[in-house]
Amino acid sequence: MHYSLGIDAGGTYTDAALVGDSDGKIVDSNKALTTYPDPLEGIKNVIDGLNPEYLENVKLVSVSTTLSTNTILEGTGFPVALILIGDHPVEKELPAEHVLFAAGGHNHNGEEVAALDLEAIEKFALRVKDKVSAFAISSYFSTRNPEHEIKARDLILELTGLPAVCGHELSQELGAYERAVTAFLNAQLIPITRQFVKSIISDITKRGINARLLMLKCDGSVVGIKDALKKPIETIFSGPAASLVGASYLSGLKTCAVVDVGGTSTDISSICMGVPDLSDEGAVVGGWKTRVRAIRMETTATGGDSHIWTVNRELFLGPRRVIPLAVAAVKYPDFLNNLKRTPMHAREDLGENIQPTKFFVRSGYPTGELSRAEAEVLEVIGEEPVSVTEINALIRKDVYPQTLDSLTRKRLVQAIGFTPTDALHVLGEYTAWNAEASRIGAERLARLMRMTPGEFCTAVKKRVARNMALHLLSYILAGVPYTSIAKILDGNYPAKFKLDIPVVLLGGPVRAYREELTKIIDAEILVPEHAEVGNAVGALVGKGIKRVEILIRPASLMSPDKYFLVFAPGSRLKFDTYPEALDTATTLGKKLVADYMRGCGLSENQVEISIDKRTISPDGWNHPPMETNLLIMGIGIRGLHV
């Protein structure tokens, strides 16, 4: 029998699942810690725990990850320079520190409105090339003519050798600002995605596994690995998409809501009659609206590894992810002793980075440009965790919390702290790691809160469950103000929310929250078998789906029967007649779909292609349509693991 291997790399754990191709049954699974900065060791560890006899017969490897999503949520992405060509109406802030506004751009018909200022682009590229890891380029109306974006990209590649992403490659929709943000985020994720894919390929190659390699996209479909490397932005929610299709597969439910509790975040989504609920607006991540088609999802930066800290007897949860104390005590041999001897801080000094349970360790990421204060602190942080007290002693002055924050954002240090995972260890509901470290941390924070350790950990568990319920209800009750839902949840009312849709929970220790959730919401809440590796299963059961959108318009409304423009992904074509334009557009769309599916390992007879044609014309219009929109969609007619 042949098998398929699903791998999901999350912020905390890397999961793997082996599925039999003939019957779709899960024959083996495993979990291992995700490793930083190189995920290769974590991938190696998770595959090492699988039955080698099954691995010999693996013919398909499909992967998903939340690493890129977490990067945006936590603000720890690689620096990117943004080049905006043409008259971009920027009404909101831009995510990039290095931005150039250059002359150029086109109009709605793809005709050049100003010459491209290549000289300005050259000067800018040479000035910032040592400060960034990639470039993002967005030209005005590039969806109608990408010529200026392509010229700018080629020049940047020649001058710097760094990756350069064009907006037209990612979206054919209008919306210059959102397309610029999408290009920026895509460029920011290229180094992370490349490293992840490189690690996967390296490990399966060393094992002699000769398999097709696919990656799940954020709409629940799969993509060939080459396409994923070019457009990592399309995988930003591949982890949550995997949880959605995985939850449906494991529970046997075609319609359900899914709550996926990961290390860094909790994601809520839903599936109806086997079809994921997609967002009409495009994915929104970290507050940035993109033009990426994705599942509709509610995300909270609360997960099993969210940092729990306290100031003025107030409990804070996240948003940053830290290594749990329980995990650190296993990973670093002397950490437990260090935790025991670290003194309590004065209450007035407490903050997110100044806690009696907060430690820092070098991540292993290469050092870039640093301020003097950052370099000074980084020099005394080594491969063993150190407390703020130790850092202060080594640099002979008090460290600024902002310096620690900056080093964390730059991924140069990793923080260790108390988490919901530690709270569950203290309560005895999850004991995979060192419970003694968790107890010591709970005692210290409980003292600051004037609680017993048990009361403190129960409060943490209730807070996490309340957050899960709040975001689930916010997702289900689309359009109802978030504050209104919170007010009802937190109020002392003789009423309870009731859901008519089953809720499936996924995640490692997620069973610990099921009972707490049922106290808040009246719903059928399920935890299926293999819930702890649901994302890895989901990476395998996504379908091959490809959508191509093509627009046809008259070249001039003054002569609507003469000359027609076709705007397709990456090209602008001109034809004498409408039938010729329509025929070419249809043929081109089918070819783009077929080429894409071939990259996913699907032959022509395994793909079902549909064409949706919509035309727009005013009343009394006696000419070919003023606008024709073609949506050519290809769907793999079988599960990819079968």
- DSSP secondary structure string, 371-383? -HHHHHHHHH--S
The answer, yes or no, to whether residue 639 has pLDDT greater than 60, is: no
Q: Where are the domains of the chain?
A: 74-192, 308-456, 542-636
Going by pLDDT thresholds of 50, 70 and 90, the confidence category of residue 642 is very low
**Do residues 123 and 212 touch, judged by C-beta distance below 8 A?**
no
- pLDDT at position 257 is 94
What pTM was computed for the model?
0.70
Annotate 64-82 with b (16+ C-beta within 10 A) or e (fewer). Answer: bbbbbbbbbbbebbbbbbb
**Do residues 339 and 441 touch, judged by C-beta distance below 8 A?**
yes
Per the prediction, the chain carries an average pLDDT of: 84
Give the mean model confidence (pLDDT) for residues 53-77: 73
Cα–Cα nearest to 283, from 237, 346, 232, 328: 237
One-letter amino acid at 373 equals A
Q: What angle do CA 77, 82, 86 make, to 5 degrees?
A: 155
The answer, yes or no, to whether residue 227 has pLDDT greater than 50, is: yes
As beta bridge partners, residue 285 has 288
217 CB contacts (<8 Å, ≥6 apart)? Answer: 223, 228, 234, 235, 238, 241, 542
Tokens for 15? 């999961």
**Do residues 270 and 475 touch, judged by C-beta distance below 8 A?**
yes
Give the mean model confidence (pLDDT) for residues 476-501: 89
Tell me the per-residue pLDDT of 153-188, one tens digit each, with 9 for 90 and over. Answer: 899 989 998 888 887 776 656 566 677 777 777 777
As beta bridge partners, residue 310 has 315
Tell me the per-residue pLDDT of 294-329, one tens digit each, with 9 for 90 and over. Answer: 678 777 878 889 999 999 999 999 888 899 999 999
- pLDDT at position 402 is 92
What is the CATH code of the structural domain delimited by 74-192?
Answer: 3.40.50
Tell me the per-residue pLDDT of 88-146, one tens digit each, with 9 for 90 and over. Answer: 666 566 667 788 889 998 888 888 889 999 999 999 999 998 888 888 888 888 878 88
Tell me the per-residue pLDDT of 370-402, one tens digit each, with 9 for 90 and over. Answer: 899 999 999 999 999 999 999 999 999 999 999
Which string of DSSP letters, residue by residue, matches 440-500? HHHHHHHHHHTS-HHHHHHHHHHHHHHHHHHHHHHHHTTTS-HHHHHHHHHS--S--EE-S
As beta bridge partners, residue 550 has 630
The answer, yes or no, to whether residue 579 has pLDDT greater than 90, is: yes
More confident residue, 190 or 235: 190
Which string of DSSP letters, residue by residue, matches 532-576? GGHHHHHHHH-EEEEEEEEEEEES-TTSTTS-EEEEETTEEEEES
Give the mean model confidence (pLDDT) for residues 472-487: 90
As beta bridge partners, residue 213 has 61
Tell me the per-residue pLDDT of 331-347, one tens digit each, with 9 for 90 and over. Answer: 998 999 999 999 998 88
